[in-house]
Structure 1
Amino acid sequence: MTALGLASPLELLEELKRRVRALQRLQFQVVEVVGVLDQQGAAETLGYKDLVEVFKHVLHWDPKVSRRKLAQARALCPTVTPSGATVDPVLPLTAAAMAAGTLSEEHVEVVAEAMAELPAVAEVHLVQYAQHHEPRSAKAFCKELAYRLDQDGPAPAGPEPVRPRNVVRRQWKSGRYHLFADVDAETGAKLDALIDPLAKPEPSDLRHAPEREGDAFCEVVGLALRASRHHIRGGERVQLTVTLDYEKLRTGVGAARLDNGERIPMDQVRKIACDCAVIPMVLGTRSQVHDVGRRTRTINAGLRRVLVARDRGCTFPGCTRPPSHCEAHHVRHWANGGETNLDNLTLLCRRHHDLVHHSDWEPEMAGGRPVFRPPVFVDPDRRPRRNRVNVVA
């Protein structure tokens, strides 16, 4: 074609259409490969729990993208039975349209979602409409088609029992912690019973009710942290770990880091220090409490504290899990002569702990810090990788 800058708008649109169709055909070819990997059980062969984790390491896909590709593959790709017979795709017309480049991934999602509730005969109508309209319009058409195919609605039935659900959404945003909870009535009543006495206004209290209740909720959290019946590994009570430089604490300048990677200003840290026990630790020094040696494979409270202070969470490359979600892993297995000390331990979340034990990811220590050599299919040179997320502030 003529250089794009010299083309007319109509020529450019025609070229754009051609390239988009080529892209959509390529996307289907990607889905085909994903489908074959899924049917072969490739994740288990490679020592992984699922393909989502494989794609994260090999293709750097977000888990949401991987799950979408897998869902599309299971709907659009033929399957092979244990006897060797080939079974047609769940959505053969949708597969053919995407293979021809006339349907996008977004269209496929709309059609697949609608076909979960519709008879197979409806697919031809949905595909024909989706090929000529944007996904949003196709979704509205699917809804209308479902209504026309079943105008009377489902047969009357007794009301299904409502399943109790307890939902909590948590999010860090701009240095604040946003919390939404939808819990059962019993839990709500218990929380009210805890908050109400603490939220009563004092004679000179200028706070509005939401502020008083917010402060009361924070006090309830503090009470829960101090409850002696709650423990973590190592036999210690639940505690909040704040990592900082002593000079910053002394001068009140700078910020400290929480377990989850969030940073809090030094004035808040100084307030915490007034109400909590301070456990000083100097990394790199030797102490018997931090070096169990070959006596046992389990770690004690003191050794875990030092491990948490050094690793700050899961040390697997790219992982953001905090220390409270992690287990101690022997870099050289205890059964193979590895010692239980700081030079042979690292923190791993459960998912990556399993991965290290069942795949070709190999941890090792370099300069007193854990690094990981990936499998050959991730990096042919197996260059060591370090977690760059949980680093010192």
Structure 2
Amino acid sequence: MTALSLASPLELLDELRRKVRALQRLQFQVLEIVGALDQRGAAEALGYKDLIELFKHTVRWDPRVSRRKLRQAKALCPSITPTGSLIAPELPAAAGAMAEGELSEDHVDVLIEAMADLPVVAEEHVVHYAREHEPRSARVFCRELAYRLDQDGPEPAEPVPARPKNLLRRRWRSGRYLLSADLDAEAGAKLDALIDPLAKPEPADPRLAPEREGDALCEVVDLALRAAGARVHGGEPVQLTVTVDYDKLRESAGTALLDNGERLPMSQVRKIACDAGVIPLVLGGRSQVHDVGRKTRTVNAGLRRVLVARDKGCAFPGCTRPPKHCQAHHIRFWSEGGETNLGNLVLLCRRHHDLVHHTEWQVEMSDGLPVFRPPAFVDPQRRPRTNPLHAA
């Protein structure tokens, strides 16, 4: 039996408190290191655009976590001026409390937000409260304190008309495309003018209004795709790319692959094929142009199709960017004699394209597919990595 199984509830609570305090002290030490890396320009020194990208590869933090750590480090850690002078942290009392293990990262988030609206002298009071209460209660205390210190509120000012914002949220879930929008009055009126005539109920139409309006929106999308002068992307007019096995299409079995990784039932694909340009694509075969020669480094439409079919998006390990957000990168730089052909090209999003050009990340081909070797500070053995997220 373990020691925990023999301990009383009070002994377990005491041990929990000790462990939590130790964890919070350790979290503060992590913030100190993050702050020091930021102060010393570690990202630039290692060829990275910023610390968020560096942390992604070294400690595997999501960007959201990295941004949180950097924000907390700026508030709790001292900084050094170019002349070498030490500047105290923005929240010295909070820094001291977290260093003692009395505050969590959630507490720190509350205090950073609250002190943006409170005078400096209030920090001791809010930290004292936070030492004894959970973050949610501390947030309410800070809000009440701000109200008591300034019950009249800020001086009234002339209202400044806010710039109208148009927001659109898009995501895939379980084979469906979820769409929500918050548009200004002008854009909303224009959309209504497009949808209303197409969504009028026909005699004996069994569809309810939401379904009619959804079908009308799909018709508007089709109209936009067929419109003359459609915007060009990747060397070709805007288009929907569907990769499908010909035998499966003929037999109406299985699914086809969109260039964003989602799958379409074959019944829908057959419908699309009735009114689509069908391009037969054989990787490694002779039915498509794979080489545009040394005279130009521009990837033509045919070669880009092959590249998209092979990489299916940014090939950098862990990246989820679809082909429409990617550029064709010459593995052996064109300026150094690299050819513009399938064996010397890889799809990379803008961020990872910059990373490959400015750091020690290396790209090479293995069995006809791109693989990446990280810098030694990411993996001392520099073992090759691929991106399985876009695997066929």
TM-score range, shorter chain: over 0.9
Alignment-mate amino acid for residue 376 of structure 1: A
Determine helix, strand or coil for the equivalent of 1:292. coil
Specify the SS of the correspondent of 1:289.
Answer: coil
Residue pair 2:281, 2:287 contacting (<8 A) in 1 also: no
User: Could you say if the C-alpha distance between residues 322 and 370 of structure 1 is closer, same or farther in structure 2, counting changes exceeding 3 Å?
Assistant: same
Q: Match for 1:225: what amino acid?
A: L
Contact in 1 for aligned 2:256/2:263 (Cα 8 Å): yes
Aligned to 2:32: 32
2:176 alignment counterpart: 176
1:378 has 2:378 as partner? yes
TM-score (norm 2): 0.97
Q: Which runs of 5+ in 2 are unaligned?
A: none
Per-residue deviation, 1:290: 2.5
Matched residue SS, 2:178: strand
> What amino acid does structure 2 have at the position aligned with 1:309?
A
Q: Which runs of 5+ in 1 are unaligned?
A: none
Q: Aligned partner of 1:169: which letter?
A: R
Q: 2: CA distance between counterparts of 1:41 and 1:318?
A: 25
| Contact 2:288 2:303 (8 Å CA) reproduced | no
Paired position in structure 2 for 1:86: 86
Which residue in 2 is equivalent to 1:116?
116
Question: Which amino acid letter does the alignment assign opposite residue 85 of structure 1?
Answer: S
Deviations 1:264-310 (A, max 9, x none): 21111111111211111100124683211212100111111111111
CA distance in 1, matches of 2:199, 2:293: 51
Q: Is the 8 A contact 2:281 2:288 kept in 1?
A: no
Q: 1:62 to 1:234 in 2, by over 3 A?
A: closer
Matched, 1:319 2:319: yes
What is the alpha-carbon distance in structure 2 between the residues aligned to residue 149 and residue 234 of structure 1? 57
TM-score by length of 1: 0.97
Q: CA deviation at 1:209?
A: 1.4
Residue range with higher mean Cα deviation, 190-199 or 209-218: 190-199
Q: Are 2:290 and 2:303, in contact at CA under 8 Å, matched by a contact in 1? A: yes
- Secondary structure at the aligned position of 1:293 is classed as coil
User: How far is the alpha carbon of 1:367 from its aligned partner?
Assistant: 0.6
CA deviation string 1:59-109 (max 9, x = no partner): 111111111000000000000001100000000000010110000000000
Q: Quick one: which amino acid aligns to residue 82 of structure 1?
A: P
Q: Kindly state the Cα deviation for residue 197 of structure 1 after the two structures are TM-superposed.
A: 1.7
AA paired with 1:124? E
Could you tell me how far apart the structure 1 residues matched to 2:139 and 2:175 are?
38
Task: Say how many residue pairs are matched.
Answer: 391
The amino acid that maps onto 1:99 is A
Deviations 1:117-170 (A, max 9, x none): 111111111111111111111111111011011011111222222121111111
Runs of 4+ in 1 over 6 A off after TM superposition: none
Could you tell me which residue of structure 2 aligns to residue 333 of structure 1?
333
Q: Which moved more, 1:149-158 or 1:98-107?
A: 149-158
The answer to whether residue 199 in structure 2 is matched with residue 193 in structure 1 is: no
Amino acid at match of 1:161: P
How big is each residue's C-alpha offset from its partner over 1:220-252, in whole Å with a ceiling of 9 and x where there is no partner? 112222233224345311111112222221222
Please tell me the residue identity of whatever aligns with 1:248: K
Q: Give the conservation status (yes or no) of the 8 Å contact 2:313–2:323.
A: yes
The reply to whether residue 366 of structure 1 matches residue 366 of structure 2 is yes
CA distance in 2, matches of 1:147, 1:235: 57
